[in-house]
A = this chain, B = another copy of it.
Amino acid sequence: MDETTTRAYILLHNVSKKHNVGTLTRIATAFNVTTIVLTGNAHYNVFGCQGASAYAKFVHKRTLEDAVRWLKEDCACEIVGVEIDESAVPLPDARHAWCGEQPNVRSRAFFMGNEGHGLSEREISLCDKLVYIPQYGVGSTASLNVAVAAGVVLSAFAEAAAFAQCNKQGAKFDVAERPRRTQTRGFAEDDEEREMRIQARRLAREKAAHGDDDDDIDNPPPSLDTLFSES
């Protein structure tokens, strides 16, 4: 891993809602997150990512501790939990600090809490830093949904890290040529199922390639459409 290149990662632990990995993948791709690290129930679908999963890389670690170790040791990341907490830094302050590291902004993995109850004490204890998104006025909600929170945080980091901005042509961003697809596109539903199969194969290949001996090879991932309960 080239430690002089700034990279952004997303760390997700036991994401429970059916569509969130897909939505987060789309956001991740927009803000130059190239790797999404999934732990625990690390089977996912890509519904809602509108093809963005063709660009994002998924890495699976069975335990959160494994994921944190990999991110710190192999990817030279600081683990940044996104959580409202006594010790958390307001995001604008964090952005200023990240900007101040230029031209060598450290890579960060943003640990997004599980929907509904945020990061647990154990999860917080694995973070190097915590940031929170300030809220304003008198009527704040207790939390923003995880996709909105990720968008706000990742856009701030992309700005601070001075990632290369996508060119836009008139009213559209240029989109890189999509990685080779093994089948042509058809109806949206069929395509989505196909995307899931491709992702499942990719996940299996990656797990093999990483020689992740923590993984339970006797229990392969179930089919993707049975992985999440609606909640």
Contacts and interface: CB of A to CB of B under 8 A. Distances in A.
Copies in the complex: 2
A50 interface: yes
A40 interface: no
Interface in A14-38: 23, 26-27, 29-32, 34
A142 B175 contact: yes
User: Could you say which interface size class chain A belongs to?
Assistant: 35 or more
B55 A175 contact: no
A174 to B, nearest CB: 8
Contacts of A132: 168
B29 A148 contact: no
Contact of A148 (B27, B49, B56, B85): B27
A226 interface: no
Interface stretch (A58-66, A69-77, A157-165, A204-212): A157-165
A152 B155 CA distance: 7
A134 interface: yes
A133 B84 CA distance: 25
Interface of A: 23, 26-27, 29-32, 34, 49-52, 54-56, 83-86, 90-92, 118, 132-142, 144-145, 147-152, 155, 158-159, 163-166, 168, 170-176
13 contacts: A26-B145, A31-B137, A34-B137, A84-B168, A84-B171, A91-B155, A118-B171, A134-B155, A140-B166, A142-B173, A142-B175, A148-B148, A149-B151
